[in-house]
Structures are given as structure tokens and as C-alpha cells.
Amino acid sequence: MMDPLKVNDAIRYFPCFSALSPTDWSLAETVRVSPSTLHPITTGHYLTHAIFILSGCIRIYKIGSSGREVTLYRVRSGECCVLMMASILGEMEYEASVEIETDTEVLLFPVESFREWMNDYKPVRQYVYRQFMDRFTHVSSLLEQIAFGSVRERIATYLILRQNELRTASEWIETTHEQMAIELGTAREVVSRLLRDFVHDGAIIVQRGRIAVTDSNKLLSYTSPL
């Protein structure tokens, strides 16, 4: 059985699990992973545990037939991957891949038990459905950007979102041109050319492996129709 302090910590991030019984919690475990941790969670994997993020961040992405990646979303503290939930509940193969971006602690439950809890515990069911809706909105926006938005708009939106994640406006966004190209499903050369344009316009400063936003309004103007 999990340590009571660990249980309390898990409930703090996931209040939906507060109704679980001591027997239920005896099935749970927590695991710490890092970017160097080898794991099998890629397209086609059958999940044996429902995974919930207590701390840290993982990236969920797809790889196209050309080998190019596109990031679908990130999962952080208090969240779960809805594609994992769909795979578990539908008893299907996982349809994406996972990258561990930072040191991360995860809460694990056996999939058989979790499927039962979806029926037995209304708060658990509501939490999962809310996660589905939140991610559906995000992925719909991503698909709209890919289908109708220019790469210029997508890069500007990416930088704005990354800046909003920082603790202070003066922090640097740690990323490379290659990483951005992977994130956005485009070519590195395209990213480099557009970043040079942003620098020329005074919107950003680019250094090796990092970017600073110097004019947020200028970036926002790139996301609006001219």
C-alpha cells in the first residue's frame, strides 16, 4: 500500500481520487522518471497502467509517414494523457508516443482497476471527461493552425505560449531551431528563416539554444490577419 503521505499528495493533485478506498490505494504506486529513462510508450503499445502526472512534464507527439514529428500537447502536474485514457477504456493500442521532458513523478493504477473505477466513482469519470474536453479543444486548435495557419503564425503562437509558461517575463525560452521544427511539424530551415525575420523586426533575441521575447505585441501581430 502507498505511504499515507503519498496518498495525500496524490489527492492534492487529483481530488477525484479522494473517494478511493484503502484497498484501491493498495494497488497504486508512484514512479520517478527522467529524460534519460527508457520506456516503451510509443505508437502501438498496450498500456498496463493508467498514468497520472504528479510533477514534471511529458510531451505527447505523433510521427508521420515521412518521419516528421508534431507535438500534440504536454501533460503536466494534475493532468493525464487523454489518448492513454482512450486506449485504456477502449482496450486499444496507444496512438501516439511519449517523451519525458523533465524529471517527472507519475502515479500508476492497473488498467483493469481503473476501468472499474470509471463506473464506480463519479468524480473519476467526471475528471477524465473534463480532460477529454480540454484536450479536444487544444488539439482542434492545433489542427486548425496546421490546416489554415501559416508557419509564421504558428511560430509566433508557439513563442507566446512558451513565454507564458515562464515564471518571469525576463526568462529565456530554452529551445533550438530543430526542436521548434519538430514541435510544429515543419522544416528547420523554415523556422530559422522566420526567426531571423522576427529578430529583424525586434520581436525576439536569438542565442544558441535559447530565445527571448522582447516585444510580445509584435509577436501577437504575426498571429492576426494582416
140 with 172, same domain? no
Supply the pLDDT for residue 70.
81
133 with 217, same domain? no
41 with 116, same domain? yes
Condensed to tens digits (0 to 9), the pLDDT of residues 65-83 reads 777 788 888 999 999 999 9
Measured CA distances, 162 to 7, 80, 88, 94, 117 (Å): 32, 20, 30, 27, 35
25 with 37, same domain? yes
Q: Are 31 and 105 in contact (CB under 8 A)?
A: yes
Supply the pLDDT for residue 226.
46
Half-sphere exposure in the Cβ direction for 4 (13 Å, CA) = 0
Supply the pLDDT for residue 113.
96
76 with 95, same domain? yes
Domain count, the chain: 2
Provide the CATH number for the domain around residue 37. Answer: 2.60.120.10
Provide the CATH number for the domain around residue 163. Answer: 1.10.10.10
191 with 141, same domain? no
140 with 174, same domain? no
Supply the pLDDT for residue 136.
83
87 with 183, same domain? no
129 with 34, same domain? yes
Q: Which of 99, 131, 147 is the last residue of a domain?
A: 147
Q: Which of 147, 180, 208 is the last residue of a domain?
A: 147
Mean pLDDT split into 10-residue runs, the chain, 226 residues: 86 96 94 94 95 95 81 92 95 94 96 96 96 83 69 89 77 90 86 95 94 92 70
Q: Are 223 and 215 in contact (CB under 8 A)?
A: no
89 with 28, same domain? yes
Supply the pLDDT for residue 146.
65
156 with 78, same domain? no
Q: Are 146 and 157 in contact (CB under 8 A)?
A: no
The per-residue pLDDT of the chain, averaged, comes to 90
Beta pairing partners, 206: 211
Full-model pTM: 0.74
134 with 155, same domain? no
Q: Which of 127, 147, 167 is the last residue of a domain?
A: 147
- Structural domain of residue 38, as residue ranges? 4-147
